[in-house]
Amino acid sequence: MRSLTLGTSVSVSPTSSLKSSLSPLSIKQPPPFFPPPPPRVSHDSALSKLGACRATQFIDLFPTVSPEIVVREARLEDCWEVAETHCSSFFPEYSFPLDFVLRVDRLVAMLSGFSIPPGCRRTCLVAVIGGSVDDMFLVGSEDFKVGGFDGRFSLSKGYVTGILTVDTVADFLPRKGPLRQRRTGIAYISNVAVRERFRRKGIAKRLIAKAEAQARSWGCRAVALHCDLNNPGATKLYKDQGFKCIKVPEGANWPRPQTAPDMKFNFMMKLLNNPTTA
C-alpha cells in the first residue's frame, strides 16, 4: 500500500483499475502558500489628513544653508569661535584651564582692541561651513560695530573653520624716510589659522584670495605678511599664491610680530593686479 503525504491530491485515470501496474499515479502538488501582502498605506494621504505638507511643498522660512565653505567678514556672533580657532592653532599645547583663560583673553582683546589709527582699515575674515550663502538674512544695523566686528546677527551663521586678519595699519612693515613714516598702499595679512580637522581643504587659499580682494577694494597695490621659517608648508602655500620672499637688508631693524625671541620669519610680499587691467 502506497502512502501519500498529507495535503496531496491524487487523480486516477479511468483505466487505472485495469492497468494499475502500468499507469503511475498522477500527483498534483498544491500551489505554494504565500501570505497576502500587507495593505499599502499612503503616507501622503495620512500626512495630508494630519495637516502636514509634502517635502516638495515645504516653504523654506530660513536662508539656504550650504555645506561649502563661505568666506566673509567676521561678525560679533563669531568672536568666540574666532578666539577658539586662534588659540587652538597657535597654542595647541595649552590645556585646561590655561586654554580657556587664553581664549577669554583673546576674546576680550578682540572686542576691546582693534583700535586703529585714522585713515587705516582692519578686517577679520572667517571661513564658515554650513552658513548662509548670502547676507540677505541679517538682523541688526549695518553701521553697528563692536571692536571692528560687524554687529549684525545671522539666522544661519555657520561654523568657523578658519580665520585671517588683513589691515593697512602697517605695524609690521618697514617705515619709510628719515621720519619713519607709516607706509601706505600695502595691506598686511596676519593670524592665518585653520582648525586642524579642516586643513588641506583649500580654506587658507580661500581666505588669502578674499584678503587680496579686500586689499584691492581699499586701493592697495600690494599685500605682505610674515611666515615662520620653521613652517615649510605655510611658506609653500604663500609661494603658490604668488608671494615672494623679500630679503631684509643686513643691519636693518624691520619690525616683526612679537612672538618667541628665537623665532625667525620670512618677510613675503605680493603685488596686486589692478582689476581694471587684469
Question: Catalytic amino acids?
Answer: 238
Closest-CA residue to 247 (of 265, 223, 221, 271): 265
Contact present, 30 and 7 (Cβ < 8 Å): yes
Q: List CB contacts of 106: < 8 A, sequence separation 6 or more.
A: 82, 83, 86, 87
CA neighbours closer than 13 Å in the CB half-sphere of residue 255: 16
Q: Which residue has the cell 595699519?
A: 169
Per the structure block, which three cell numbers stand in for 4?
Answer: 501519500
Cα dihedral 194, 200, 201, 207 sign: positive
Q: Which residue has the cell 588659540?
A: 87
Local structure of 138: helix, strand or coil: strand
